[in-house]
Amino acid sequence: MKRSKRAKPSNHENGVDFISNMPDPILQLILQGLPTTEEVVRTSILSKRWRYLWTSIPYFPSIDLDVSRAPKNPKKLALQKKKFKEFISWVLENQTLDLDSFHLSTYNYYMQSTIWRWVDAAVMRKVKRLDLTFFTRGLYEDITLPHCHSLESLRLFLYTRSSLEFPDGMCFPALRFLELNDVVIAKLDLVERFSTICPLLKELCLIDCFITKHKWGDTLSISCPKLKTLRINKQRAFGGWGISDFGLKFSCPELVIFECVGHVVKNHFILENVDSLKKAVILPHCILRNKVSSQLGDTICELLAGIAHVESLSLNHFIIQVKT
């Protein structure tokens, strides 16, 4: 049997790395194609050729940074926090082109003033998508977002420690997607003002949001002419009043998807002007211990009659029990 010819050593084995020897513009294109900023920076350990290459990228179209996976050793943590802070400031403040998205998850490692300085820098670069996950060191510290005419998507996860404020006159004219997760909302009227604050809003998600100022019997009213998707979810138990504990009234002529999970059904649960609705998910959280009032029964009947035209309907045993 003929012995197979031994493969010639590759150029890499001879010490020649074709990729590393490519011109800077090509390598920069490779780096810009990586999905996250973290992966871009990690290329600095490949070789001396790559160590500072990432700093020459003309711009980061998307910045995705997560410091929540920090080391437990206090000395290492302090050093990493300092380096991370310097890096974020450099990336945001030393670039001139527009920013497509900025995702930042910092837990409670930085002061609120530092985080909002970064957000301001992202706004200056006309960020389109903003995703922030952190909690403030003080309880119920006020959060006020800066004006941003370019913002199209906003997601906030604040661990129910920060109170969101939208001052009078604030407007996000391009915002189409808004998700508030574990956010403290001072007053119900803030939610009711979303239609004026975000006139183009198409998708609204309110997850475990907490209301601090309310009166017994208050009803949350949402009227958004462009809204197509509305989700109100209560995924965990907490003290106080969440959005799911109020009466609900919605009037959204272009609404296509409605989801209400974990809501404690009150006598006011009204869906009106929803002829465009195609999918409804209504899964209340309530155990029937007492006799159902005739008013609650009428509310459920009117609710079901108003959405009888949908193509997809998901209900749970509570609705069935009340209906029967």
Report yes or no on 132 lying in a domain.
no
Report yes or no on 245 lying in a domain.
no
Residue 269: pLDDT band with limits 50, 70, 90: confident
Report yes or no on 22 lying in a domain.
yes
Distances (CA, A) of 35 to 60, 64, 85, 236: 11, 9, 21, 32
- For the entire predicted model, the pTM comes to 0.79
In the chain, how many domains are there?
1
More confident call, 297 vs 100: 100
Report yes or no on 138 lying in a domain.
no
Domain assignment of residue 45, given as a range: 8-58
Interval 287-299: pLDDT, tens: 554 555 677 777 7
More confident call, 224 vs 141: 224
Query: What pLDDT score was predicted for residue 209?
Result: 86
Q: Which of 209, 247, 203, 263 is nearest to 227 (CA)?
A: 203
Helices 74-93 and 112-124: crossing angle, nearest 10°? 20
Report yes or no on 94 lying in a domain.
no
Report yes or no on 45 lying in a domain.
yes
Residue 68: pLDDT band with limits 50, 70, 90: low
Tally Cβ neighbours within 10 Å of residue 297: 14
Distance CA 318, CA 324 (A): 10
Interval 128-165: pLDDT, tens: 999 999 877 666 678 888 899 999 999 999 887 778 88
Report yes or no on 142 lying in a domain.
no
More confident call, 146 vs 88: 146
Phi then psi for residue 26, to 5 deg, are -70, -45
Report yes or no on 93 lying in a domain.
no
